[in-house]
Amino acid sequence: MTDNEPRDFIRKIIYDDLESGKHTGIVTRFPPEPNGYLHIGHVMAICLDFGVAAETGGKTFLRLDDTNPGKESPEFVQAIKDDVHWLGFDWGDRLTHASDYFDRLHESAIRLIEMGVAYVDSLSAEEIREHRGTLTEPGKNSPFRDRSVEENLDLFSRMYAGEFADGEHVLRAKIDMASPNMNMRDPAIYRIRHIPHQNAGDKWCIYPMYDFAHGLSDAYEGITHSLCTLEFEDHRPLYDWFLDQLKPEHRPRQIEFSRLNLAYTITSKRKLKMLVDEGIVSGWDDPRMPTISGMRRRGYPPEAMREFVKRAGVTKKDKLIEMGALENCVRETLGDSAPRRMAVLRPLKVVLTNYPEDQVELMEAMNHPGNPDFGTRELPFSRELWIEQDDFMEEAPRKFFRLKPGGEVRLRFGYIIRCDEVIKNDAGEVVELRCSYDPDTRSGTGTSDRKVKGTIHWVSCQHAVDASVRLYDRLFNDANPNMADDFHSVLNESSLEVVPAKLEPSLAAGDEAVQFERLGYFRVDAQDSTPAAPVFNRIVTLRDSWAKLEKQALGN
């Protein structure tokens, strides 16, 4: 961030705290729960937490808030680390876990019992829900709320020792069952779970609740500014209550900002897990998923993700951002960085009847028309070529400037050709075009000034690389699938189409993002592609075909 850029409200607070001397250094944290893969919504938090610390010479912790062993795994932990690194951020030696503080949290829970502000409740989970009340009715005190300190200490000690079954008891804070804030109605602090922990092993059979561990972990790490999304605003009074009772040496300040909500996506980990478990997608890293790993596999550049977050801005107002805004950032980044290549996705054979059968010419092709520094490459040209089926129309309208019977078109970096004959199969389908070429019209030779209106791309049949291309589209048809009664009902059944392709020889190797000329941006699939059977994923189309529909759906 440069000095003349406007500061969002969080940066203004942080810079004011530095200038006033309230803080001499900034410490932030990115605290994901390792119960799933990170998604587009987390990109905002990652860029904010790491970005504002880097701008001010501060530091950032990557903390895994691993308080729920039943849903967490080392796979998710590793995926989180990979995603943060891929986005361009590093935590140095500040990788921590909430589980690193389990001993301190346990001691803090005992202190709360000794202070008379925590008690062991023996109600069942259903009974606790019944006692909790509603948004319009106060809750009721548990009959176990007035247990003595000694009895609570004894029961909590036995919970820790593993004497009780899951759900038999729970440790709760004694706050206010009539509070208008539901989070303050004697929330649970510890519950019994006889489950090994992905980081702590089998030492524990009681685990702290997220709301208890989260704010205290911030305090233990000396976090100056705890940046959270708006759904944690109602939890802040509870975090503050724990800090008021326990008075740790350091007290973080929590500031909330709006989530990054992207149209045509869902970011609920529960729903994303359903997509994976039900086989609707191939995994958490399916290129249609809004997960960081999915977008990475699809070919999104990390710098485009960071730019998208920057343009979205940090605000207090929830909003649904157009998918096109993200895709435009991807297009702009790849437009400058991706070399151009020839690929034919739905091949139609062209035979140049007047071209020598055994002749092969090498055509000089620019790697990037807007940047000569990318250099050139040689494309083999021969008698038999592949072109796109869509580049031929037997009964073409007047303004169709591609190939048609008797019509002419220029082959990019090649010659002008004319369609002389159409070959069909028994079903009446066009399977081959017999054409003639004008040898005086080779691109770059200047031997003919003849011009035609259409230019199409091609690949030499003799030299083509066979490949599969996955054409990805939006996973949902509805701009806000979260509003649907059942998100399954708004799934886009055309979100993936696999087509055979013929590629120029240079695409047989390399994994960088490229533009297939006239078709879009593509990248080799890191998992499924092999040298013998390449697989390319479409990153994004050249133009936004959803723009008008999306603006209407969002009322823009």
What DSSP assignment string belongs to 201-249? BTS-SEEE-HHHHHHHHHHHTT-SEEEEEGGGGGGHHHHHHHHHHH--S
Structure tokens at 207: 């685990």
Is 269 a catalytic site residue?
yes
Q: What pLDDT, on the 0 to 100 scale, is given for residue 544?
A: 78
29 forms beta bridges with: 61
Q: Tell me if the domain spanning 269-339+467-554 has CATH number 2.40.240.10.
A: yes
Q: For the chain, give the longest Cα–Cα distance.
A: 101
Q: Confirm whether 259 is a catalytic residue.
A: yes
Count CB atoms within 10 A of the CB of residue 437: 21
Tokens for 537, please give them.
């994923």
| 246 close to 108: Cβ distance less than 8 angstroms | yes
pLDDT confidence of residue 546? 59
One of 236, 269, 297, 412 is an active-site residue; which one? 269
Among residues 231, 224, 226, which one has the least CA distance to residue 258?
A: 231
Contact between 140 and 133 under an 8 Å Cβ cutoff? The reply is: yes
Q: How far apart are CA 86 and CA 168, in angstroms?
A: 43
How far, in Å, are 36, 129, 228, 354 from residue 476 at the CA level?
21, 35, 28, 49
71, 193, 251, 259: which one is catalytic? 259
Residue whose structure tokens are 């959803």 = 546
Amino acid at 457: H
Task: Map out the domains of the chain as residue ranges.
Answer: 9-257, 269-339+467-554, 347-457
User: Options 1.20.1300.10, 1.10.132.20, 3.40.50.620, 3.40.630.30; which CATH number does 9-257 get?
Assistant: 3.40.50.620
Query: What does the alpha-carbon distance between residue 434 and residue 34 come to, in Å, rounded to a whole number?
Result: 59
- The number of beta carbons lying within 10 Å of the beta carbon of residue 162 is 12
- DSSP reduced 3-state for 312: helix
* CATH number of this structure's domain 347-457: 2.40.240.10
Phi, psi of 181 (to 5 degrees): -90, 110
Say how far apart CA 310 and CA 476 lie, in whole Å. 25
**pLDDT tens per residue across all 556 residues of the chain:** 555 667 899 999 999 999 999 999 999 999 999 999 999 999 999 999 999 999 999 999 999 999 999 999 999 999 999 999 999 999 999 999 999 999 999 999 999 999 999 999 999 999 999 999 999 999 999 999 999 999 999 999 999 999 999 999 999 999 999 999 999 999 999 999 999 999 999 999 999 999 999 999 999 999 999 999 999 999 999 999 999 999 999 999 999 999 999 999 999 999 999 999 999 999 999 999 999 999 999 999 999 999 999 999 999 998 899 999 999 999 999 999 999 999 999 999 999 999 999 999 999 999 999 999 999 999 999 999 999 999 999 998 988 999 999 999 999 999 999 999 999 999 999 999 999 999 999 998 767 778 899 999 999 999 999 999 999 999 999 999 999 999 999 999 999 999 999 999 999 887 899 999 999 999 999 899 998 899 999 999 998 765 555 555 556 5
Calculate the CA 240 to chain-centre distance: 32
515 pairs with which residues across the strands?
340, 521
Which residues neighbour 121 within 8 Å (Cβ) at sequence distance 6 or greater? Answer: 128, 142, 144, 145, 169, 170, 171, 172, 186
User: Does the fold of domain 269-339+467-554 match that of domain 9-257?
Assistant: no
Looking up tokens 């082959």 gives 411
| Cα end-to-end distance, the chain, whole Å | 29
Instruction: Give the pLDDT confidence score for residue 37 in this predicted structure.
Output: 97
Q: Is 126 a known active-site residue?
A: no
Q: How many CB atoms lie within 10 A of CB 282?
A: 17
Residue 506 burial (CB < 10 Å; 0-12/13-18/19+)?
middle
Is the four-CA dihedral 505, 506, 511, 517 of positive or negative sign? Answer: negative
From the candidates 11, 29, 33, 236, give the one annotated as an active-site residue.
33
Write out the DSSP string of 464-496: PEEEEEEEE--SBSSS-GGGSSSGGGGB-TTSE
